[in-house]
C-alpha cells in the first residue's frame, strides 16, 4: 500500500483551515479599507462584516458543494453592491475598490477541479464575474482586478487537473510496461527451459543409447548365463530411462495450455467440503466477485484450499471464518480459525511437504501480492492475503 500525502488523507482539516485563513484575510483587509469598509462604520457595516465572514467560511464546503460556495460569495458581493448603490446604505471609503472578498479566488478554483460538469461551472462563474466586475459602473481598475480574481482560480484548477491526468497516464503506462516486462521475462524463461530440455535430451539420450546398445551386444556375445542376464537387466533399465527421459523432456518443453483450477466461484464448494468433514466454516463475501481477474481468482482459490487443508490437519474442531473482499483495486482474503478443541493427529499432521505456505507466498509474490500467516491472540491461526484485482496474462496482453 502506497502512503498518500497528508493533505489528501485529511482534506476536511485542510478545507477548514483554508476557510479560517480567508475569513481572517478578508476581515483584516476590509477593516484597513481595501474593500467596501466605510470611514465611519455603523451597525449595518458591522453586520455586513459578520455576513462576509460567514460567506468566506463557506469555503469549508468547497469540495462537496463548490458551486454553492461560488453562489454564496457572489450573492454577498451583489448584496454589498446594492447596499452601496443604489441603496446608499453603505458609503465605502474608497469607491475604486472591488467589493468581492479574496475568498472568491479559492471559490472559483473549486468548481473546475472538483465539479464534473464544467459547463454549469462556467455559467455560474460567468454570472459571479459580472457581479464582481460591475460593468454598469465602468472602471478599468475594478473590471481588471475583478476579472483576475475570478480567472486565476479556474486557470490554476485546469492546470492542476491536466497535470493530475498526465501523472495518472504516466503511472498507467509504467504499470503496463512493468506487466509487459514480466510477460517477456516469462516468455524468455519458457524459451530457455525448452532449449535446456532439448540439449539435455540430445546429450543424455545419446549416452544412454550407447549404454543400451553396448548392453545388448554384451548379452549376445557373453559366454555365461549370469553375464547375459546382467546385460539384459542393464539394457532394460536403459530403455526405461530413455522412456522416462522422453516424458520429462516433453513436460519441460510443453507449457500448460490452461489452468483448470477453479476461480472465486469455487469458494462455496470448498466451504461445503470443509463442513462435510466436520469443520464448521463460514464464508463472507463483500463486493463483486467479477472484479477479480481469472488469474487472481485461481490464486485466491489456492490460498483458501491450502488454508482449509491446514486447519483440518493441525486444528481439529476449530471454527473457521473466511472473509473475501473485492474492490476495483485489490482482492483481500482472510481465513481465521479459532483455537483447536482437540489434539491434532500426528499421522495426519505429518502428511504433505510442509512447503504449502512457502509455495503460496512465492505464487502470490509473482502477482505482486502480499501474504501474512501466523498465530492469533485467541489461540487460533490466521492467513491473510492481498492481491491486485487485475493481473495480465499472456492471453490478455495480446
Residue 182, all three cell numbers? 514480466
Distance of alpha carbon 176 from its chain centroid, rounded? 14
131-188 pLDDT per residue, tens = 888 878 777 877 888 888 888 877 887 788 788 888 888 888 888 888 788 778 877 7
- CB atoms < 10 A from the CB of 36, how many? 26
181-219 pLDDT per residue, tens = 877 887 777 777 777 766 666 667 666 777 777 887 888
- CB atoms < 10 A from the CB of 55, how many? 25
Buried b (16+ CB within 10 A) or exposed e, 143-168: bebbeebbeebbebbeeeeeeeeeee
3-class DSSP assignment, residue 111: helix
pLDDT band at 4 (very low <50, low <70, confident <90, very high): low
Cell numbers 449595518: residue: 44
Mean predicted confidence (pLDDT) in 249-258: 55
3-class DSSP assignment, residue 172: helix
* 264-397 CATH: 3.30.565.10
| Extents of the domains making up the chain | 6-138, 181-253, 264-397
Report which of 322, 337, 317 is spatially closest to residue 385, judged by C-alpha positions: 322
Determine the pLDDT at residue 397: 36
**DSSP letters spanning 82-108:** HHHTTT-S--BS-TTS--S-THHHHHH
Q: What is the pTM of this model?
A: 0.42
Amino acid at each position: 500500500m502506497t502512503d498518500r500525502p497528508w493533505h489528501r488523507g485529511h482534506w476536511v482539516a485542510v478545507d477548514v483551515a483554508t476557510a479560517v485563513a480567508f475569513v481572517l484575510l478578508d476581515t483584516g483587509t476590509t477593516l484597513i479599507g481595501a474593500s467596501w469598509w466605510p470611514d465611519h462604520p455603523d451597525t449595518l457595516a458591522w453586520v455586513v462584516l459578520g455576513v462576509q465572514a460567514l460567506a468566506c467560511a463557506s469555503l469549508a464546503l468547497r469540495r462537496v458543494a463548490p458551486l454553492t460556495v461560488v453562489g454564496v460569495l457572489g450573492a454577498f458581493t451583489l448584496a454589498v453592491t446594492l447596499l452601496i448603490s443604489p441603496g446608499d446604505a453603505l458609503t465605502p471609503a474608497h469607491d475604486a475598490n472591488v467589493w468581492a472578498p479574496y475568498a472568491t479566488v479559492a471559490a472559483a478554483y473549486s468548481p473546475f477541479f472538483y465539479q464534473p460538469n464544467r459547463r454549469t461551472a462556467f455559467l455560474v462563474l460567468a454570472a459571479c464575474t459580472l457581479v464582481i466586475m460591475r460593468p454598469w459602473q465602468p472602471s478599468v481598475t475594478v473590471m481588471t482586478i475583478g476579472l483576475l480574481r475570478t480567472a486565476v482560480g479556474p486557470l490554476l484548477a485546469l492546470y492542476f487537473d491536466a497535470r493530475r491526468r498526465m501523472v495518472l497516464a504516466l503511472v498507467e503506462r509504467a504499470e503496463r510496461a512493468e506487466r509487459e516486462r514480466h510477460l517477456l521475462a516469462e516468455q524468455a524463461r519458457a524459451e530457455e527451459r525448452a532449449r535446456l530440455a532439448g540439449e539435455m535430451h540430445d546429450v543424455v539420450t545419446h549416452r544412454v543409447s550407447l549404454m543400451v546398445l553396448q548392453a545388448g551386444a554384451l548379452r549376445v556375445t557373453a559366454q555365461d548365463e549370469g553375464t547375459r542376464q546382467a546385460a539384459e537387466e542393464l539394457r532394460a533399465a536403459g530403455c526405461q530411462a530413455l522412456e522416462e527421459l522422453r516424458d520429462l523432456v516433453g513436460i519441460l518443453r510443453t507449457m500448460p495450455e490452461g489452468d483448470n483450477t477453479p476461480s472465486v466461484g469455487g469458494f462455496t464448494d470448498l466451504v461445503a467440503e470443509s463442513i462435510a468433514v466436520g469443520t464448521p466454516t463460514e464464508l463472507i463475501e463483500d463486493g463483486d466477485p467479477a472484479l477479480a481477474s481469472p488469474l487472481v481468482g485461481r490464486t485466491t482459490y489456492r490460498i483458501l484450499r491450502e488454508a482449509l487443508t491446514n486447519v483440518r490437519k493441525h486444528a481439529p474442531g476449530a471454527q473457521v471464518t473466511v472473509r473475501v473482499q473485492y474492490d476495483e483495486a485489490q482482492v483481500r482474503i482472510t481465513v481465521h480459525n479459532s483455537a483447536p478443541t482437540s489434539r491434532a493427529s500426528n499421522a495426519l499432521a505429518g502428511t504433505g511437504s510442509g512447503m504449502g505456505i512457502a509455495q503460496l507466498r512465492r505464487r502470490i509474490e509473482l502477482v505482486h501480492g502480499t501474504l501474512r500467516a501466523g498465530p492469533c491472540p485467541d489461540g487460533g491461526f490466521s492467513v491473510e492475503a492481498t492481491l491486485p484485482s487485475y493481473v495480465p496474462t499472456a492471453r490478455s496482453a495480446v
